[in-house]
Amino acid sequence: MPTPARTSLDEIVMAGRMILDAEGLDAVTMQRVGAAVGVRAPSLYKRVRDRDALVRLIAADVLADLGARVDAASTGDDPATDLRAIGHAFRAWAREHPGAYALVFSRLPAAWDPASE
């Protein structure tokens, strides 16, 4: 009988995002993420191939979050009002998620591009 899963991919990505925003990208390691979800780092490899794959998953989640925030700010009624609302929503998101902002708006290795897989 296989051992039960102790964590999910969603929990791993969320833990990575929390570490990213609190301490920056360099702190997002397999060991740190594993500790945050309550497993040892080697157990993460059952769900995530390597750190590059983990960073890609986090970046994809960050982009989806940002996209949802921007979409929610737009009403479609008045372009000028929407532009201001989108700008305010974007700025609020960037302040709430400084590590995520740095991840998606920095020049990064191609291996971390969420579109690469």
Q: What is the pLDDT of residues 31-72, one digit of tens each?
A: 999 999 999 999 999 999 999 999 999 999 999 999 999 999
Instruction: Kindly report, residue by residue over 78-105, the tens digit of the pLDDT.
Output: 999 999 999 999 999 999 999 999 998 8
**Rounded CA gap, 17 and 24, in Å?**
9
* C-alpha pair distances (Å), 109 with each of 27, 55, 77, 99: 17, 11, 39, 16
Q: How far apart are CA 100 and CA 4, in angstroms?
A: 31
pTM (two decimals): 0.85
